[in-house]
Amino acid sequence: MKAPKSLVVWTMGLVSYLDALNLQEKLVHLRKSGIISDTLLSLQHPPTYTLGRRRTVHNLLISEDELQSLGAELHYTQRGGDITFHGPGQAVVYPIISLKQMGLGARKYVENLELAMVELASLYGVPARAGGDGGTGVWVDDRKIGAIGVRISSGFTSHGLAFNIDPDMKFFEHIVPCGIANKEVTSLRRETRMDLPADEVIHQQLISCFVKLFGYSGVTLHQGSPSLDNEDVLK
């Protein structure tokens, strides 16, 4: 089955995790109803820890009071994967797409997300690789540079990926990232000898990698947050 022709991309800047979560839920409903086409949200979050549906809270190494003193939030979600951190200096992408129309299964979808991050890293001379069995995400040797946690409901996706451009790495010291002990977390800043452009440029490069891998031929770009009161703008 051929991929849909069009993708609507919203570059949203810094967005609270709950606002992004509520927006995704509404967009998934609209996508399931056929009101909108495939949609991608590109954004960053304030410091936020999230847990997947397995609720592996033991991988949070500090109390919630200590977490709040760091200026971070904690949220429980219905995505797959373990605990992770989101913050400024990350490229976060949430695709709201129909896997059925794409002709993709869940595994291939995740592999494509991984490959988008691998391709992005390669633009900066970083030899990243997909994790494979037991190591979902993207790695540079044994250091994780990109995390994936997705939700698939009736063949429609939400949540997505987080690629570390240059976040405050101290936040990762308070968790067992993705539940994998004795593995480091890294960033593009740490791994490349190249000067990095503004985060917005790297976000756009990640979007381009996503568009290429998923075979979209038409892309509509918007800045800011989508208005759910105007369905024509969402299409």
> Is 55 assigned a ligand-binding role in the annotation?
no
Look up residue 71 and give its DSSP letter. Answer: T
Q: Looking at 178, 188, 202, 207, which residue is catalytic?
A: 178
105 is in an annotated binding site: no
Angle (deg, nearest 10), helices 106-122 and 199-214: 140
Give 224-233's long-range contacts (Cβ < 8 A, gap of 24+).
Answer: 224/10, 224/12, 224/13, 225/10, 225/12, 225/15, 225/19, 225/23, 226/10, 226/23, 226/27, 226/39, 228/23, 228/26, 228/30, 231/30, 231/35, 231/36
> Is there a catalytic annotation at residue 178?
yes
Establish whether 91 is an annotated binding residue.
no
* Residue 80 assigned ligand-binding role: yes
34 annotated among ligand-binding-site residues:
no
Q: Is 161 annotated as a binding residue?
A: yes
175 labelled ligand-binding: no
Which residues sit in the known binding site? 79-86, 147-149, 160-162
Residues taking part in catalysis: 178
Known binding-site residue numbers for substrate: 79-86, 147-149, 160-162
